[in-house]
Amino acid sequence: MDDDTAIRALYDRYRRPLFGYVLRSVGGDHQYAEDIVQETMARAWAHAAELDPDRAGRWLFTVARNLVISGRRKRAARVTEVAIEGREFAAPGDDIDRVLQAWQVAEVLRGLSHDHLQVIVELFYRRRTVAEAAVVLGIPPGTVKSRSYYALHALRAALEERGVTGS
């Protein structure tokens, strides 16, 4: 795949999720969010030979996050404000860690066998009971329990290898 095709694939796949993430990160400033997304894609173009469009999401979100942080620092350096003593204000939440962790979990889930993935989806994403999942999947409840045990064990091990820990 040539660089132009790779960048188009990245843009088509990640522009909307990136824009949504950046828009929340910059407090709803549409133009600034679009500028960040464009700069992120420009940096992706510079690294096109190294990026696989199917696995570039984490890299793109990290670049976008760094651009947002850099922009905040530049703006803070230009603005001189007097601190309000005696009051503390909550900092806006930064969802990038949650987003990156979700990407890693999704990648690990793709590595599960089809049978294990089906059980995980039924039990944890569709929130079915063991009995309900057994009926939907057409397998005995004991098999649902066994598959969920081994699937969760495999997920835990794969996530620990990647440094993702439960919080």
65 & 114 share domain: no
Q: Is residue 146 over pLDDT 70?
A: yes
Q: What pLDDT is stored for residue 122 in this prediction? A: 93
Domain shared by 7 and 71, yes or no: yes
Lowest-pLDDT range, 6-15, 86-95, 112-121, 141-150? Answer: 86-95
Specify the higher pLDDT residue, 31 or 10.
31
**% pLDDT > 90, the chain:** 30
pTM: 0.45
81-103: average pLDDT: 63
Domain tally for the chain? Answer: 2
- Domain membership of residue 89 (yes or no) is no
Q: How far apart are CA 24 and CA 83, in angstroms?
A: 25
Residue 95 reports pLDDT greater than 80: no
Q: Is residue 90 part of a domain?
A: no
Amino acid identity at 17 = P
Mean pLDDT calculated for residue range 82-96: 57
Are residues 41 and 104 located together in one domain of the fold?
A: no
Please compute the mean of the pLDDT values over residues 80-92 and round it to a whole number: 55
Rounded CA separation 129/127 (Å): 7
Question: Does residue 122 lie in a domain region?
Answer: yes
For residues 68-78, give the mean pLDDT. Answer: 78
Is 26 within the bounds of a domain? yes
Pair 67, 21: CB distance under 8 Å? no
**CATH for 117:** 1.10.10.10
Q: Which of 95, 86, 112 is nearest to 17 (CA)?
A: 95
Instruction: Looking at the structure, tell me whether residues 23 and 73 fall in a common domain.
Output: yes
User: Which CATH number covers residue 11?
Assistant: 1.10.1740.10
Which residue range(s) make up the domain with 116?
A: 96-161
Q: Comparing 160 with 151, which gets the higher pLDDT?
A: 151
| Contact criterion met (CB below 8 Å) for 44 and 6 | no
If one compares 102 and 91, the residue with the highest pLDDT of the two is 102
9 and 67 inside one domain: yes
pLDDT at residue 128 is higher than 80: yes
Whether 100 maps to a domain, the answer reads yes
The answer to whether position 112 is within a domain reads: yes
Q: Are residues 10 and 70 in the same domain?
A: yes
